[in-house]
Amino acid sequence: MTKNRLANLNQYLDRMTRSTGETSKSQLVEFARGPVIIDFGCGSGVLTHMLAEKYPDATVYGIESCPEIAAVAAAGAKENEIICNSWPENVVANTVIFSSVLHEVYSYPTVENPEPFDIIRVIAILHKAYNMLAKDGILLIRDGAYCNEIDIAKIRFKNEDGVYWFKRFVKEFKAPLLCDQYECNIKENSVIASKCMIKEFLYTYTWGPESWPREIQESMGVLPLENYKKVLEILGFEVLSATEFTELGYNYHIGKLVEYTTVSGTPLNLPHSTMFIVAKK
C-alpha cells in the first residue's frame, strides 16, 4: 500500500461521501436487500457501514483485498458486518454490489491475468457474482461512465500548470482511447481534444497531484452502457434499469479547475461521470 493510495482514499471519502446525498452511493443502500449483502471492493467500509446500519438484521460482507484498507473497514464495522479479503465461501447472497471498483478490476493486471485493461476480468467477476446470488437476487453496479464521443471540445485551465498536466496525461495514460488527437495552446492555457479524451483527463486531473500516480493508471470507463447491459444479459441477468449521469461533486470540483466548452467557447455540460445499473438474477 502506498501513501499515494491512502491519500487518494482519504480525499475521496472527505470530498465525495461526506454528504451521501451528493452522490449515488446512497441509492445503492436503498436498492439493496438482505438477508445477505456483499459489498465487493468495500474500501474503508463507508458503504458497508451504511448498509449494516440500514439493514441491522442482515449480514453484510465487505470484501477488500488490501490489508491496510481492510483494517480501516474492520475498525469501524458494526456487529452485523464481516470484513474479508476474498469472496466468502458457502454463502448465497441476496445482493451483490460493485461500487467504483469494476474500472479497477479492468485496469490493473493480476497474477492470473497480467494484461492491463482487460475486459475478461470484469466479465469473470460479474459471472462470479451471478453464481453467488440467490434466485431473484439483486446486482448493483455504480462505476465510471464510458465516453465514446469523438467530436472535439475545449478546456481552458484556471491554473497556470494545466497544460503541463494534460501533457503528462498524454504521456502516461495507457488505457485505450477512441481518439487521442489533441492541440495545446500555451498562450491561451487551453487544450482542444476529443470529448472522450478530455473526459478521461478531467476525471484524473480533478483528484490532484498526490493521487495522480494511481489515478493515471486507471480507465474511468470500461464499456458503453448498452454493452454492459448486453454482457449482463448474456450472463443471465435481467437488467431492471441502467442510467448515466454526472455526480454533483464533480461539477463543483472540475468547475474550479477548467472551463469546458465547444471550440468556439459555448459552455458544455461535463461528460457523464457515473453509470448505475440494477439487475436481477
> From CA 86, how far away is CA 22, in angstroms rounded?
30
CATH number, span 3-145+219-246+274-280: 3.40.50.150
pLDDT at 25: 86
pLDDT at 3: 41
Cβ neighbours, 10 Å, residue 173? 19
pLDDT at 14: 54
Q: 52: exposed, middle or buried (C-beta count within 10 Å: 0-12, 13-18, 19+)?
A: buried
pLDDT (tens, 9 = 90+) of the chain, 281 residues, equals 334 444 455 554 454 444 344 578 889 999 999 999 999 999 989 999 999 999 999 999 999 998 999 999 999 999 999 999 999 999 999 999 999 999 999 999 999 999 999 999 999 999 999 999 999 999 999 999 999 999 999 999 999 999 999 999 999 999 999 999 999 999 999 999 999 999 999 999 999 998 899 899 999 999 999 999 999 999 999 999 999 999 988 999 999 999 999 999 999 999 999 999 999 99
**What's the whole-model pTM score?**
0.92
